[in-house]
Amino acid sequence: MKNRIYTALDEIKAEDQLKKNIYSFLQKRVYRKKNMICKRFIVVFASVAAIFAVGLFSYNLYFTETAFIDVDVNPSIELTLNRFGYIISTYAYNEDGEKVLSEINIKNEAYQNALRILIDKMAEMGYINDAGLFTATLQMKDEISGRERLDSLKAYIDSVLQSDGKRMEQDVFSVDGTTKNRSHRQNMTPAKYLAIIELQSVDPAATFDRCRGHSISKIKQRTHGHMRRGHGKNNRKRIGR
């Protein structure tokens, strides 16, 4: 570049000092231009990186599991919630649950709206009227907010079931992470898992596989039946004495 500048200046008979000044001026100008381009590139790159980082953080924040609501009427369904109370995934434990979920799309819905859609669809498909018990369990990592959400969950389910003539017994309670994990390994809701555990205490022959296809209502009826029969036997023994 320097030789080209000096050659051009020779043609107009420029003095050596003038040549040096012009070359220095042009050199600084080119440097500033390159520097500006470099700075612009850095700014653009930093902006893109920041947008990407914020987007990745927001994505992870939205899709982080913080709570599970398991609904069991015989269709057994798991709803996974994020920290904002929106459904980020659903899971069916049995064929009835798969049938219900195939008819609706509740992902990215607020859990209250998702529950209403779910309950309405189960009622439409005849499950609500056929079952004597509606169970739902809540498992949250944050125990403090979990208590508040459980109260809200109970009140909301009650309001939905009481509307449109959906009258049935309900059992809504919270479970810990250990119970949730153990029930999931058995591929059933925590409510059904606990109902079978209770049945096994009075009927050791009851197994998870044998009881898997029964509704919680029927499992509880079997438990109460065994307890009544056991109580009757104890009474007869006392009378005999």
Task: Give tens-digit pLDDT for 181-215.
Answer: 999 999 999 999 999 999 999 999 999 999 999 99
Cβ atoms within 10 Å, residue 191? 25
The pLDDT value recorded for residue 183 is 97
pLDDT at 62: 81
Look at residues 20, 28, 33, 31 and name the one whose alpha carbon lies nearest to residue 5. Answer: 20
How high is the pLDDT of residue 237? Answer: 44
Instruction: Pick 51 or 228 by higher pLDDT.
Output: 228
Q: Taking residues 109-116, what's their average pLDDT?
A: 96
Give the residue with greater pLDDT, 128 vs 56: 128
Which residue intervals of the chain are DSSP H helices?
2-11, 16-62, 95-103, 111-124, 127-130, 143-162, 177-185, 190-202, 208-211, 216-240
pLDDT of residue 45: 53
pLDDT at residue 51, as a whole number? 60
Confidence of residue 77 (pLDDT cuts 50, 70, 90): very high
So where are the chain's domains? 2-61, 67-232
Calculate mean pLDDT across residues 209-224. 92
Rounded CA-CA distance 166/149 in Å is: 23
List C-alpha distances in Å: 115 to 62, 124, 132.
19, 14, 18
Query: With a threshold of 0.85, does the pTM exceed it?
Result: no
Is the pLDDT at 229 greater than 90? The verdict is no
